[in-house]
Structure 1
């Protein structure tokens, strides 16, 4: 990859590339074109990766400010309407307001103010500013109040074997809050190990002890997508009707309201990956097992995902070929070779 990047940097002609590799963008790109399927737009960002990130951050701040200004004006209009209503209700009781023509003039003026405020308030409510999506946040169900469960081993795997794909001759212990990046060549057994950790695959030999609450993000999307609507798929396995979870899903900023009843099978690969992430971040877990978490997702969501993982208090075991993700990963590393620990 380094050779390719240097070759392209030295190339005198124009290079057009499609990539989600942030390292490639940082080293090679001088301009980024972002295609937004939802809005059917193509946006141009100058100054390469640094310019893209700066522009995205500025756009988010501007959106937050627009919403804050709108909400502040709504609150101010509501307060003025309430105050004017109180004054109107007391008209005629205070001798200082005058009598006859003077009182009627005062009432008319106050009534006009009330109408003006009502009209402005109605206008604001007819044209609301969208609430900026809340940042992604993973939650752990463990706390200091849980006592001994928060100390020692959260998960333990001893002598685990899965055919010829994985052979752990010694113990693998995952502690609460631990960060572990699993590395190795393709076919080294990384995905097999993660499936065992997540409980998606039982070993042929050895013992596996896992916490009850595990969040698992597999590398591949299901071969056959459900015909359920998006909202029903998001709410699957949770108490109550799916409609109760619409607000929670929309608050993540991963989908629009018109997406909620689209069958999952009709969604793009990227949107189906967003659905997996949405389910993951809205259910408490004490261990996150993530296999190539940055696959199929937009660049700004990759940054947000990495920030959310850094703030997550639980344990994380992850496999990733994303150079930017690996460079920013803070934790231990476990290297596999032919199914064995190196």
Structure 2
């Protein structure tokens, strides 16, 4: 595995890593190999995940909300956060979703738009993995068009009454706090809905083919009374949740490079050991053509992620940059995993190997946090100055 990893770094990108970044990568990679990789096949097959235990372990590792400052967070660089996303998703996209929804959606929403009291109350426990959060924006009838959300928050004295349904929510039923976005008379606002509040229930989504090692839930708000102290005071309008999505999409740009890399490493190992017609199949021209194409594509995704990390660390990143990354990297990673599966032949359709599991997981990543089509139109709007959404 290590030999294949070294061969894949054709452009010597590892040489550009600072010592601190390399140490972080190696630490997370070892944790992934020791704690996650031995169990992921079973978690995926069973459709289960010891999420609370893993959240605490990720917290001890210091990767939950690691790019935020203070409140128990590490204040890491954007590039360091990206490196972590890649190493975790090299095991499974569902595990990276656990990390990124916690840190880049739920925690970031509180960090960016919450009051000091809200930050002090929630962020240290979430950074430690002792508390879990989720992000309730998508609805059954409102996905790519969040402006059409039907969830309502009505003022009633010093409280708000929330009614509506959120769907496809990662970590939903696990969460101690849900960041819920609702329409008010003044526009879209964010609320911290706590576990156990009367009228707040969750229901998990079952029979998933993709992201099976991840908890996906429906949030049901039936007249939930939320105090004014639980409203995010700095969140004004739809721009606030969209800002959280941009933050999370950045992690996806890096994460999918890990899934693609793991699939390609597996394919190389298989191709150099599987003997047909008297020699390893990696010695045939057609297989080498596939591997060469996939390796070049992988390095392109890694270069894109590296560039976005540079832009984010420099404070210059914009939503269209992130859309470029998600548009480019997720589709490329999905194509890499599909083609890598073909190298494994029949063995590639089993969970004994991770390649097809990565591919089916990426089918979800291709769609969530902005579909491929949405990012296409973001880029089109940037190029033409014309909005094609409506």
Q: TM-score range by the shorter chain?
A: under 0.3
TM-score by length of 2: 0.22
Question: Which has the greater radius of gyration?
Answer: 1
More helix by share: 2
